Chain A
């Protein structure tokens, strides 16, 4: 028990939690925007891979770090466009298209990696985003180093949440997106195009997912490995449900999950960690997340038209 308190009282634990949460926050917001418009985007896992790869490769080939983020976003939006074209105007199964996009984007990344770096055994490193301390705020005990000594991309992740809230709940565009996921007939009857709204949401959401992936290579690990996204996309799908399709709650969910993850890494090094097989610790965040999901999502308001293709003139 003491070991646990010791961990919870160290600033580095909280800083790690926020860092681990950052890619999840980007991708969760991306998924949330897609689903609020009525499209389940299971391409998320692969789009994160292509984001991680293309951002890193762009920087390796000589672009700036922000250039890398931009390239990652473009790559994500491209796969988003493919997903949106197949699921929205063509109305194909969102499950099948999403999984297809994940397989396609992942293998495209690996393929391109081998094409560009045929002889390389260990992937080259890039110079990643450095932590930027916010003056004064960083001196707040515990919270300061956790929140205000992060990289620019982490700050951007929080800004994206704020922006998502603002757009979804305070602008006409957000109103239309929320209506498109609930009752596309209402949107069409008001003379708006459900197709355009949904395609736009999927493209922008996919761009955010890719930035989440790029965080891994440009801010966290400074290099690209196979399997590095490692199911984070699927976690984000669960986080959207956990957050009941609300950006604020989804942010909380991402921080909670990341907290569990940071905790298990540290617990492995304590005396408990010697006694218990480390796989139990690796499993813990997922197990706890499932528990939290069960408790939280009972009364969730699922967008009524989620996964329902909209065909003009049909009722």
Chain B
């Protein structure tokens, strides 16, 4: 591999031909890389490319089948998180490793004091934490319970945890997936300070613009192999996307929709809050035929309440929901019957039943109707024919209609869900995070199908945390924050930064 030459003494981390197999799958195939002092490298790759596996090997959660790791010139014993921490590696996991019932300070101290010592040494820890917060611009209340913090604050705790242990190498796994643009910018600022202080950073992402903004080198993984290493200044997003996918990427050009009448109208709808998730606060919204309405916002700000409402799982406390073409549907079954297509947020938990076959999953919403059921008896032949048709039409790659759906990749699972609901010719399509966790190929496919549904006259509501997705696909955009809905913005009327301010709760008339 060609590596940009530099003094060998500057190399803080060296992976040498790391290979990891899970059964027949080779998750990492002889991956080698060098990380130098004060450098940010980006590890780019689609889901399943092997990024997280590689980092888990580095951090001792997995043991590599072949290859070795050197940190500051010394070999790192495999399969030992404690040794990785002691060697100066700090990991910021995508799914935070924090205990909700402990305070910020307690979470940070966890594991830093020998277990059999009879004191936590709170004062010294507090002072060190205060200094780190100051140096790296990471403000958070040390005595707050982690359970009460926002996602952005939790991430700061996760970073502080690594810094508190004097990490010299920070590894961040998809750190911006859950942040607003402003929070991401603050994170980048923190990382720049860290680099200035002599730390090295590995930044794992599949978002091209972040990769190019922060790193000096980009390493691209595909199907477990390192397929390219480029200096960031010598490349561009398009070239990186091609490296990542391994083929020419043509993003669909989105022609504006031809809006028709409002098919679904919410008037001043308020719903009860559910636990920590806020309810809707006098939300008015119109979903028009032939138009994609994008709903941006950090998750947990009332999106689930809105999607439950439209799915028929929730009734408004005050206000009204009106359908243009049918009586308002207050049960999921009535919603399906009225022509509301639901693509649920979590395809594993609510979209499918993992151990059911593709056929059973394909008729989950229509099993009680002809031809799948006659006189109270299932007609499995009809159901299976229908499923075969969906598999063909929607390009679901699978062994056949009778295997359990859990064997499918996320993308293929989502294609089957799309087929299940879109074949019914819906009036309204509720797409809640439809491409979360999918690779570029599947994303392009799902987006194409949503656009086709729009062009066929459906009103599409696209709920997403990904601003690029919202801005690329929507004809009109709303932002949700703490249960409130922003006014409607035409496509292109606001920049990402302006949308980010709305996401952070600014601009609402009743802003607290």
Contact = CB atoms under 8 A, between A and B. Distances in A.
A258 to B, nearest CB: 29
Contacts of A185: 93, 95, 97
B172 to A, nearest CB: 14
A105 B82 CA distance: 38
Contact of A176 (B81, B82, B86, B115): B115
A171 B118 contact: yes
A175 B110 CA distance: 7
Nearest to A192: B111
A303 B147 CA distance: 12
A304 B118 CA distance: 26
A289 B112 CA distance: 41
Interface stretch (B34-42, B100-108, B324-332): B100-108
Interface in A169-187: 170-173, 175-176, 178-179, 182-183, 185-187
Contact of B111 (A170, A187, A304, A312): A187
A178 B102 contact: yes
A186 B97 contact: yes
A189 B120 contact: no
B64 to A, nearest CB: 12
A192 B120 CA distance: 16
A235 interface: no
A188 interface: yes
A313 B61 contact: yes
A183 B81 contact: no
Interface residues on A, range: 20 to 34
A133 B157 CA distance: 52
Contact of A172 (B61, B102, B109, B161): B109
B61 A175 contact: no
Interface string B86-127: 100001010101111110001101111111111110000000
Interface majority SS on B: helix, strand, loop or mixed? loop
Given A171-B119, A175-B102, A188 B97 contact: yes
B101 A304 contact: yes
Contacts of A304: 100-101
A175 B106 contact: yes
A188 B82 CA distance: 9
A303 B82 CA distance: 25
Contact of B99 (A170, A171, A183): A183
A190 B101 contact: no
A301 B110 contact: no
A191 B98 contact: no
B56 interface: yes
Contacts of B106: 175, 179
Contacts of B80: 191
B85 interface: yes
B107 A186 contact: yes
A301 B101 contact: yes
Contact of B115 (A172, A178, A182, A186): A172
Contacts of B115: 172-173, 176, 192
A179 B116 contact: no
Interface in B43-99: 56, 59, 61-62, 80-86, 91, 93, 95, 97-99
A298 interface: no
A224 B379 CA distance: 64
A183 B82 CA distance: 17
Contacts of B59: 189
A188 B61 contact: yes
A176 B110 contact: yes
Contacts of B97: 183, 185-186, 188-190
Given A185-B97, A190-B111, A191-B85, 5 more contacts: A172-B115, A173-B116, A179-B99, A179-B102, A190-B97
Interface of B: 56, 59, 61-62, 80-86, 91, 93, 95, 97-102, 106-107, 109-120, 161
28 contacts: A170-B119, A171-B117, A172-B114, A175-B102, A175-B120, A176-B110, A176-B115, A179-B106, A179-B107, A179-B110, A182-B100, A183-B98, A185-B93, A185-B97, A186-B98, A186-B110, A187-B99, A188-B97, A190-B81, A190-B97, A191-B81, A191-B83, A191-B84, A191-B86, A191-B111, A301-B101, A303-B101, A313-B62
What are the 4 A-B residue pairs with the smallest beta carbon separation, nearest first? A190-B111, A191-B82, A189-B97, A172-B113
